[in-house]
Amino acid sequence: MEESVKTEQVNAYQYSPLALAYMGDSILDLLVKKYFVTHSNMQPHKYHVEVSKIVKAVNQADYIDQIMEELSEDELDVYKRGRNTNTHSKAKNATMGQYRKATGLEALYGYLYLKGDMDRLQYFVDGMIRQYLESKES
């Protein structure tokens, strides 16, 4: 098995919206975990609690509503493809509309990751984290 784990640029648009969302869910989780591990010192369970609050579908749906105007034409297209895809599951604590928006956002994150646009991906994830931290302060 000679395949490298090093990321290489691919044509991210060729993947199905659900494949992009699958990747985006993982990368969002990883980047938020990285933030908390590098900015605080907690027990693993406390990390999990904080990360879960940020990455839940309700927060993702709220965040995409806030950044919609910032999306490029390609990003908006990927988001809409993800949002409009038929899924056979639903988030535990979100409406179907929120879940679909979250799936669209995760597809966007997967797209940016596979495209190799880490600066843009990090910009959006930082915004989600900032939104959460500001809501905790109020």
Q: What is the pLDDT of residues 46-77, one digit of tens each?
A: 999 999 999 999 999 999 999 999 999 999 99
Q: Is the pLDDT of residue 18 over 50?
A: yes
pLDDT confidence tier of residue 4, bands split at 50, 70 and 90 = low
Q: What is the pLDDT of residue 104?
A: 97
SS3 65: helix
Nearest of 20, 105, 109, 9 to residue 57 by alpha carbon: 105
Domain boundaries, the chain: 15-129
DSSP at 85: S
CA distance linking residue 128 with residue 90, whole number of Å: 21
Looking at 25, 29, 77, 119, which residue is catalytic?
25
pLDDT at residue number 91: 73
| The CATH homologous superfamily of the domain defined by 15-129 | Ribonuclease III domain (1.10.1520.10)
Identify the helix (H) or strand (E) that includes residue 62. helix 57-67
Residue 32: pLDDT above 60? yes
What span, in angstroms and rounded, lies between the C-alpha atoms of 27 and 39? 18
Give the whole-angstrom CA distance, residue 78 versus residue 18: 11
Q: What is the mean pLDDT of residues 84-95?
A: 82
Give the whole-angstrom CA distance, residue 86 versus residue 33.
Answer: 29
Residue pair 107/82 in contact (Cβ under 8 Å)? The answer is yes
Q: Assess whether 117 carries a catalytic annotation.
A: no
